Amino acid sequence: MKAICWQGKKDLRCEDVPDPIILDPKDAIIRVTSTCICGSDLHLMNGFVPTMCAGDVMGHEPIGEVVEVGAEARARGLKVGDRVVVPFQMICGECEQCRAGNYSVCQTTNRNADLAKAFFGDTTAGLFGYSHITGGYAGGQAEYLRVPFAATTVVKVPAAGADEKYLFLSDILPTGWQAAAFADIQPTDTVAVWGCGPVGLFTIQSAFVQGAQRVIAIDDVPERLQMAAGLGAEVLDRSQAKVIPTLKEMTKGHGPEKCIDAVGIEAHGPTAVLELIDRVQTALKLETERPIALREAIMACKSAGTLSIPGVYGGLSNMIPMGALMNKGLTIRTGQTHVKRWTDDLLRRIDEGQIDPTFVVTHTAPLGRGPEMYRKFRDKQDGCIKVVLKP
């Protein structure tokens, strides 16, 4: 079958790979009907995530049809023909973390848990197409996908309706929702969101649904700011204004109560010189990411406020203003998304028409053009915000 494969830093190719087969009674095989390119795929593509190996299959946002089911998965209710969204993480549903709803840190599904423990101090869940530190599982930018722990992992969705209506339940919609939920939004709150990519846009949408009084969207890409404005956000174009003083001005001098970093590892700015300092440090392996949005969010946040971080970080960051964080008494909440904690509620909201996630899709292309679409997405060409690939 065809799949998008990582062959090295910035080197993705659509290649032939072996078809997946059932390896465990808990497995199912999915025929992928739509699959997305995620912002975090760019971090993998650009070599920011260690333990990627040449030949790895990318992708963690697929939807499709079950075509083969292992005995145990069948016994737990999954059957051939079911239409399912596959969340980016696989879960056992039985471990201590799963029972607490902390699905992204499932203790069972990461088959390279020792490596994760060495890097992070404890394991994470197994993730699809997301390096060997999260299990080395093949991803969903392919014609078919093996889903381990299938009965507990997948989200069944109605047979009718476009893929795009449900597809984003795999990652970015619950990620935006969790980002807002972790900010503990109150009706009087102003929420500032760094980054108006797909996760940032869903964060803005979720913040309003969860009751924010004001949302300020921060980016420098005109079409993304326009989309954020369309959701009701006030926009702060960082190419035109300095972020922190402008946020202070917009919030009576104290800053937003809730700040959300939906950018992560590969942020830009605030000036060319300061960005160069981070770039040199990452090249010399003195840090592994450019936490520019995070630094700004800490400095901008109102005292006793909350910082929610859905943006992906993978290793070590320098020059984090710990003094501001501590002395202002900020609360930080972060983590990979516990997808299944939110999907029942979000599926209901989609079916009731309260949330329409399809607005983020700007480009649809055949799977074989995946590498080209990655570059278009990375370089923000042609107004590209979200790419859906069709195997």
Partner 1 sequence: MTLATDRVRARPAVSPQLSFLLGQNAIGLGLWGLLAPGAVNRFLGLRTSAQTTRALFGAREMATGIVLFSDPTRVGALWARVLGDAFDIAVLTRLTRRANPQRSNTRLALGVVLAVTALDVVAAWRMSNVKRNRA
Does the footprint of partner 1 cover residue 54 (CB under 8 A)?
A: yes
Q: Which residues from 3-22 bind partner 1, rule CB under 8 A?
A: 3, 5, 7-20
Q: How many beta carbons lie within 10 A of that of residue 53, not counting itself?
A: 11
Does the footprint of partner 1 cover residue 340 (CB under 8 A)?
A: no
DSSP 82: -
221-256 core/surface letters (b: 16 or more CB in 10 A; e: else):
beebbebbeebebebbebeeeebeebbbebbeeebb
Nearer CB in complex with partner 1: 30/225: 30
In the structure encoding, which two tokens stand for residue 370, read together? 């995946």
Does the footprint of partner 1 cover residue 55 (CB under 8 A)?
A: yes
Residue 51 to residue 118: CA distance in whole angstroms: 13
Does the footprint of partner 1 cover residue 205 (CB under 8 A)?
A: no
Sole window of 98-106, 155-163, 288-296, 364-372 interacting with partner 1 (rule: CB under 8 A): 364-372
Does the footprint of partner 1 cover residue 114 (CB under 8 A)?
A: yes
Minimum CB separation from partner 1 for residue 370, in Å? 8
Does the footprint of partner 1 cover residue 364 (CB under 8 A)?
A: no
In sequence order, the 6+-apart residues with CB closer than 8 A to the CB of 120 are: none
In the structure encoding, which two tokens stand for residue 367, read together? 């799977």
Nearer CB in complex with partner 1: 315/371: 371
Residue 339 to residue 330: CA distance in whole angstroms: 25
Query: What sign for the dihedral angle of Cα 276, 280, 282, 287?
Result: negative
346, 169 contact by CB (below 8 A)? yes
Phi and psi based region of residue 323 (left: phi greater than 0; alpha: psi -120 to 50; beta: remaining): alpha
Q: Which residues from 369-388 bind partner 1, rule CB under 8 A?
A: 369-372
Sole window of 114-122, 168-176, 313-321, 346-354 interacting with partner 1 (rule: CB under 8 A): 114-122
Residue 36 to residue 361: CA distance in whole angstroms: 10
Q: Which residues from 279-318 bind partner 1, rule CB under 8 A?
A: 283
Nearer CB in complex with partner 1: 51/186: 51
Nearer CB in complex with partner 1: 18/253: 18
Nearer CB in complex with partner 1: 21/100: 21
How many of the chain's residues bind partner 1 (CB under 8 A)? 41
In the structure encoding, which two tokens stand for residue 138, read together? 């093949």
Minimum CB separation from partner 1 for residue 135, in Å? 7
Q: Site for partner 1 (CB under 8 A): which residue of 34, 40, 102, 112?
A: 112
Query: What sign for the dihedral angle of Cα 128, 131, 134, 137?
Result: positive
Q: Which residues from 137-156 bind partner 1, rule CB under 8 A?
A: 137-138, 142, 146
Minimum CB separation from partner 1 for residue 25, in Å? 18
Residue with tokens 């990411």: 289
Does the footprint of partner 1 cover residue 106 (CB under 8 A)?
A: no
125, 106 contact by CB (below 8 A)? yes
Nearer CB in complex with partner 1: 256/391: 391
Residue 329 to residue 274: CA distance in whole angstroms: 26
Does the footprint of partner 1 cover residue 248 (CB under 8 A)?
A: no
Query: How buried is residue 348: exposed, middle or buried, by Cβ count under 10 Å (0-12/13-18/19+)?
Result: exposed
Minimum CB separation from partner 1 for residue 157, in Å? 24
Residues in contact with partner 1 by CB under 8 A are 2-3, 5, 7-20, 51, 53-57, 111-112, 114-115, 118, 132, 135-138, 142, 146, 283, 368-372
